[in-house]
Amino acid sequence: MIDIANERFLSDSTPLFTQALALLAEVVTDPFLENGLFSEQVVEQEKRSLKQRIQSVYDDKMRYANVRVTEEMCKGEPYALSAFGTVEEVEAITAESLYDYYVELLQTNAFDLYLVGALDEQETFKKVKEAFQLPERNPNVRPTTKSPEIDEVKVVHENQDVKQGKLHLGFRTYTTYGEDDYVAVQVFNGLFGGFSHSKLFINVREKESLAYYAASRLESHKGIMMVMSGIEFTKYDRAVEIINEQLEAMRNGDFSEQELEQTKAMLKNQILETADVARGLVELHYHQVISRSKRSLPDWLESVDQVTKEDVVRAAKKVKLDTIYFLKGKEETA
């Protein structure tokens, strides 16, 4: 990503936009090479950096628990793979294998360039074509693996030297971003655990004092929802029970119209805040590319307004618990 000042607002006549495009194109299509391959020194530096990132996930137990519940829940699916890979996979990378993959990437992967600003469309398109001399490609876009039906809830307990238990539950929503009822699922998530007035926050954290934190988060393009909580080791059974009770309450429509409207208002504000910065605006547009669907910002906001209590209840009834993951202290093994 490159941020530059718009030339029309500067007294200097330096062609910043053209230079920025040239720099970005050079990074993508003309990287630094040694003997026709990536520099071994640079590759080793990047491998060390990536291994440090992998270690940082292990050290951050909330992130680690979320990685583990995803691995267990989506075992056998591409989604189970960590974005950082494993230490063993990183160590196996060589300058030659990495360059071969880079060439394959340019030839087979989709390439999307987003430009945000006060730009002349025709002139900009011309400059982009001049800067990026990419080969003819046949983009290979893999469809998302459909969520399987759940025969039995998976329960995974893991022991480490931790002071606080991490209880993460993975649910299948059976609804993805491109589907019509996705917006209802968004509202459901907001009521269930997405905001500070949600059922998880109020009942699990505040009323029952079962968790140091409790929230839910949607994985929009995969059709799953993660519930994350930090609890004392001894409160595992009650925490699982009350989280399930909150889902059942949502299925029964146990929420007021006032709570529904508050959630819709907060969700719309969240969307508008995202669209208020260039990076967020690009993110909203790229969702459409991934989902192969079109949902403009005004349409999205209108769809939120139109969600009814019945829509939320219908979305809640589709949600099913798939996996329970609990990270607890070693002393709890006895």
Tens-place pLDDT, residues 10-34: 888 788 999 999 999 999 999 999 9
Q: Are residues 121 and 170 in the same domain?
A: no
| Domain presence at residue 141 | no
C-alpha distances in Å from residue 274, one per residue of 139, 224, 268, 279:
28, 22, 10, 8
> Mean per-residue pLDDT for 190-212?
90
| Domain presence at residue 57 | yes
- Position 88 confidence tier, pLDDT thresholds 50, 70, 90: very high
User: Among residues 228, 218, 227, which one has the least CA distance to residue 174?
Assistant: 218
* H runs (alpha helix) in the chain: 16-29, 40-59, 61-73, 87-91, 95-108, 121-131, 182-189, 199, 236-251, 257-275, 278-291, 297-306, 309-318
> Mean per-residue pLDDT for 180-205?
94
> Mean per-residue pLDDT for 260-269?
97
| Domain presence at residue 229 | yes
| Domain presence at residue 144 | no
Q: Are 38 and 95 in contact (CB under 8 A)?
A: yes
Residue where one domain finishes, among candidates 80, 99, 131: 131
> Mean per-residue pLDDT for 98-119?
89
Which residues lie closer than 8 Å to 74 by C-beta, 6 or more apart? 80, 222, 224
pTM beyond 0.85: the answer is yes
Query: Which structural domain, as residue segments, surrounds residue 106?
Result: 7-131
Q: Are residues 119 and 166 in the same domain?
A: no
| Domain presence at residue 321 | yes
Q: Are residues 220 and 99 in the same domain?
A: no
Determine the pLDDT at residue 141.
64
Determine the pLDDT at residue 109.
84
β-strand 154-160 against 320-329: which pairing, if any? parallel
C-alpha distances in Å from residue 32, one per residue of 49, 185, 249, 276:
19, 46, 58, 36
- Name residue 217's beta-bridge partners: 226
| Domain presence at residue 313 | yes
| Domain presence at residue 49 | yes
Instruction: Find tokens 């993110």 and name the residue.
Output: 283
Q: Are residues 35 and 106 in the same domain?
A: yes
Token duo for residue 319: 């949600």
Determine the pLDDT at residue 331.
66
Between 309-318 and 236-251, two packed helices, what is the crossing angle to 10 degrees?
130
> Mean per-residue pLDDT for 236-258?
96
Q: Are residues 77 and 173 in the same domain?
A: no
Domain count, the chain: 2
Does residue 249 carry a pLDDT above 80? Answer: yes
Q: Are residues 180 and 323 in the same domain?
A: yes
Q: Are residues 325 and 238 in the same domain?
A: yes
Determine the pLDDT at residue 334.
43
DSSP of 249-287: HHHTT-S-HHHHHHHHHHHHHHHHHHHTSHHHHHHHHHH
Q: How far is CA 54 from the centre of its chain?
A: 17
Largest CA distance in the chain: 73
Instruction: Find tokens 């074509």 and name the residue.
Output: 129
> Mean per-residue pLDDT for 48-74?
95
Q: Are residues 181 and 91 in the same domain?
A: no
Does residue 333 carry a pLDDT above 60? Answer: no
Q: Are residues 163 and 301 in the same domain?
A: yes
Q: Are residues 47 and 84 in the same domain?
A: yes
Does residue 222 carry a pLDDT above 90? Answer: yes
Q: Are residues 171 and 317 in the same domain?
A: yes
| Domain presence at residue 139 | no
Q: Are residues 127 and 165 in the same domain?
A: no
CATH of the domain at 56: 3.30.830.10
3-state helix/strand/coil string of 173-231: CCCCCCCCCHHHHHHHHHHHHHCCCCHHHHHHHHHCCCEEEEEEEEECCCCEEEEEEEE
Determine the pLDDT at residue 13.
78
CA gap 25, 47 in Å, rounded: 24
Determine the pLDDT at residue 158.
96
**In terms of pLDDT, which residue wins out, 105 or 144?**
105
User: Among residues 322, 291, 309, 4, which one has the least CA distance to residue 300?
Assistant: 291
> Mean per-residue pLDDT for 66-89?
94
User: Among residues 316, 187, 192, which one has the least CA distance to residue 251?
Assistant: 316
